[in-house]
Chains A and B, each alone.
Chain A
Amino acid sequence: MADTLDLSHFIRRTDAGDATMDFAIDGADCAACIDDIESSARDVPGVVSARLNVGSRRLSVAWRDEACDAQSVLESLAARGFRAHPFELHRLEAEDVRQTRWLLRCLGVAGFAMMNVMLLSLAVWFGAVSDIGPETRDFFHWLSALLVMPAAAYAGQPFFRSALAALRARKLNMDVPISLGVILAIGMSLYETLNHAEHAYFDSAIMLLVFLLAGRALDQMMRVRMRTAAANMAALKGDLAHRLGPGGEIVTIPVAALRAGDCVMVRPGDRVPGDALVLSGASCVDESAITGETLPREIGPGAKAWAGSLSGQGALTLRVTAAGESSLIDDVRRLVEQASEVKSRYRRLADRASAIYAPLVHLTALCTLAFWLLAGAGAHFAIVTAIAVLIVTCPCALALAVPAVQVVATGGLFRAGVYLNASDAIERFAEIDHVVFDKTGTLTLPAPRVANAHEIPADLLALAARLALSSRHPLAVAIARAGGADTPFADASETAGAGVSALVGGVEARLGGAAFCAMADEAPRGADVSLMRLRVGGRTATFEIRQALRADACQVIADLRARNIGVSILSGDRPDAVAPVAQALGVSDWRGGVKPDEKIAFINQLSRAGRRVLMVGDGLNDAPALAGAHASMSPIDAVDMARAGADAMFLGDRLAPIVLALDLSRKARALMRQNLWLAVVYNAVAVPLAVAGFVTPLIAALAMSGSSILVTLNALRARSSARAAPKSAARERPVAATFRKAGA
């Protein structure tokens, strides 16, 4: 195609005046790929630098303006077999990355102070039992104070800010006891140092900050990783649109750059880039991604076409009415918004724990103060003991308990090809006891398959496949794939809306509808079957094309049942098309012809009956149900709206990642609970000691670090089950990459 490709939307300028652009890369799965990708970009004349970030699967390329353009970089990458997609860094993602760096900087500063203070504290602790003089002890305490005060003022900011914000909103969060504990510990230690006292808690205060910052940084890094994966997926899916200029010239632009009012051309086999009105041309569109309906719909001038529908054999000229993210049916959007409001009421495990924990800690400290004052122990002792309670109960282990498990579990899911959208998704997946599947594109593969390939003589199948290569009709694509053809006939010609014909060895071969092949029209063989005919001289064949079940659909349903999880099928497709699928899978609870609002109603009904529902779907009609269910998943090729509503996405042609995600989540939540209990047990031991006034700085340090390490080690156990998981489709691509390298 000789279209010009306009990618200026994505280009950024560096200070040196070079153009830089980021690409999301598909297929970077081996060490050799890094070299391959970077050098294929660097080999383009004019390119200054190319650097692949393996963690985020993104390639950043800089070039000099006059010598090079984005298109030649894309072409060079495509020539080596890598799909690259122009990519725009989202504002939120940039903010998250900045936040991560800030947390790491705080962690670095706190870590530096902790190492040095520990050095001094150890001397004091062991000096207490040997021969340290009061002057040396005071000197060490002063040194610690000088190190800890500025370090804590800097590194404590993430907690102080969040605590202030919570107090302003008249709420208590986990950061309030943390901030209070750190500030009081430092304040009291300073007072004690001024009075040449024996104990100072500078080390405890800074150690607290280090552990808590580590937990915070882990949490943040996981969030960045999830956002990166989601953004890459949006870019990788990012289709191109052919925009008609005022002079009739065609410019290819990314769909993200499309505006309402633009005129676009949709060729046979392309997806409609935005909601649009048909200006000219006629075609039949496959709207299975939007409504679940498997039979194509005929459209002509004046008709409306939805974003994401697949155009059949005719070329269309459309005027876009809604572009980009706004392209969806209003009803569906309204339903999605209502449904998401309901779901946002879910409260995370950590939030629930901290809501009980923070008031309890403050109350205990106050009671301690009151008790010792009433017991006549003196104001100094009472205050020191109350502060020791606050220090000891500072929720180190509690703050690490959940994020540490989440990071490990998310990593495990990531490797298995499941990408999380919501950070509390793991907790919700763990509670699932009923799964509702959509049919089209979820239980079945997104593209139709030839169902009776084994009944057709091999030579006819091969011939039909080569003929089919000359057409972009969805049914022809299915035949071409079934026959594994790769060379079309040179003289093949397509009659729009009818079929393809070519001369093969002096005999005319025709592939298409019954009339085109001069064959008798026969009764439909099933509700979800489309027929294609082939005639070569006197020989004929009939191809049955239908939606094929995903290879492991039966196995997955059986696995879910074995885990005592209920299964239902809800489809927007006609009931007589759903019935055979439900029967093949042995699912008795199914409904067909269900509208989006009915899907939500069905799920709400299940929820009211006390079931926790996981919705798995890919179409626009599933989007409200995905947003409304307790948890939801989408295959990676789902429509944007469905992916935005889903809590997680899975890669590949198999459904196994769903079972895996449920298993891993259950294990992860068990570990989170264990960790929270560990934290409770630690407090049950440490608090009475602190209340009784026995906690010296040495004991506080041992208790805090001990419990934090225990909790982190326990979290690492989630790795073992993540490792045991079979590597799914996410890892199938490298095989192709290896072949390509061997051939090169």
Chain B
Amino acid sequence: MNVLVYLVPLALLLGGVWLGMFLWSMRAGQYDDLEGAAWRILSDEDIRK
């Protein structure tokens, strides 16, 4: 059962990274416009510049 010594912290770490990314993306406003992203994928505005 020694494997738990690093597997459990690893699982928690991965979960923590996910939580951090979620909170960051929400604060950055990525959930403000749920429809826009689907439409913007066809836009090449960013390439022109």
Docked pose: A136 CA to B19 CA in angstroms:
27
Docked pose: A105 CA to B31 CA in angstroms:
11
Contact: A108 with B22, CB < 8 Å? yes
Contact residues in A for B43 (Cβ distance below 8 Å): 31, 34-35
Contact: B45 with A35, CB < 8 Å? yes
The binding surface of chain B is classed by DSSP as helix
Give the residue of B23, B33, B40, B42 whose beta carbon is less than 8 angstroms from that of A108. Answer: B23
Docked pose: A101 CA to B16 CA in angstroms:
19
A-B contact count (CB 8 A): 56
Docked pose: A111 CA to B26 CA in angstroms:
15
Q: A54-B36, A112-B18 are in contact. List 15 more A-B contacts (CB 8 A).
A: A31-B39, A31-B43, A34-B43, A35-B43, A39-B45, A53-B36, A54-B33, A55-B36, A108-B22, A108-B23, A109-B19, A112-B16, A116-B12, A116-B15, A139-B4
Contact: A56 with B15, CB < 8 Å? no
- Interface size of B by CB at 8 A reads 23
Least Cβ–Cβ distance between A39 and chain B, in angstroms: 7
Q: Which of B15-34 contact A (CB under 8 A)?
A: 15-16, 18-19, 22-23, 26, 31-34
Contact: A112 with B26, CB < 8 Å? no
Measuring CB to CB, which residues of chain B are less than 8 angstroms from any residue of chain A? 1, 4, 8, 11-12, 15-16, 18-19, 22-23, 26, 31-36, 39-40, 42-43, 45
Docked pose: A143 CA to B19 CA in angstroms:
18
Q: With an 8 A cutoff between CB atoms, is A38 at the interface?
A: yes
Docked pose: A39 CA to B45 CA in angstroms:
9
Least Cβ–Cβ distance between A207 and chain B, in angstroms: 15
A39 (CB) vs chain B CBs: closest residue: B45
A33 (CB) vs chain B CBs: closest residue: B39
Least Cβ–Cβ distance between B25 and chain A, in angstroms: 10
The binding surface of chain A is classed by DSSP as helix
B41 (CB) vs chain A CBs: closest residue: A31
21 contacts between A and B (CB under 8 A): A31-B39, A31-B40, A34-B40, A34-B43, A38-B45, A39-B45, A53-B36, A54-B36, A55-B32, A55-B36, A56-B33, A104-B31, A105-B23, A105-B26, A112-B18, A112-B19, A115-B15, A115-B18, A116-B15, A133-B1, A136-B4
- Interface size of A by CB at 8 A reads 26
Give the residue of B8, B23, B34, B36 whose beta carbon is less than 8 angstroms from that of A52. Answer: B36
Least Cβ–Cβ distance between A736 and chain B, in angstroms: 18
Contact residues in B for A56 (Cβ distance below 8 Å): 33
Give the residue of B4, B11, B33 whose beta carbon is less than 8 angstroms from that of A55. Answer: B33
Contact: B35 with A55, CB < 8 Å? yes
B18 (CB) vs chain A CBs: closest residue: A112
Docked pose: A119 CA to B32 CA in angstroms:
31
Docked pose: A119 CA to B7 CA in angstroms:
11
Q: Assuming the A-B contacts A112-B16, A143-B8, are A53 and B45 also in contact, with contact meaning beta carbons closer than 8 angstroms in the complex?
A: no
A135 (CB) vs chain B CBs: closest residue: B1
Contact: A112 with B15, CB < 8 Å? yes
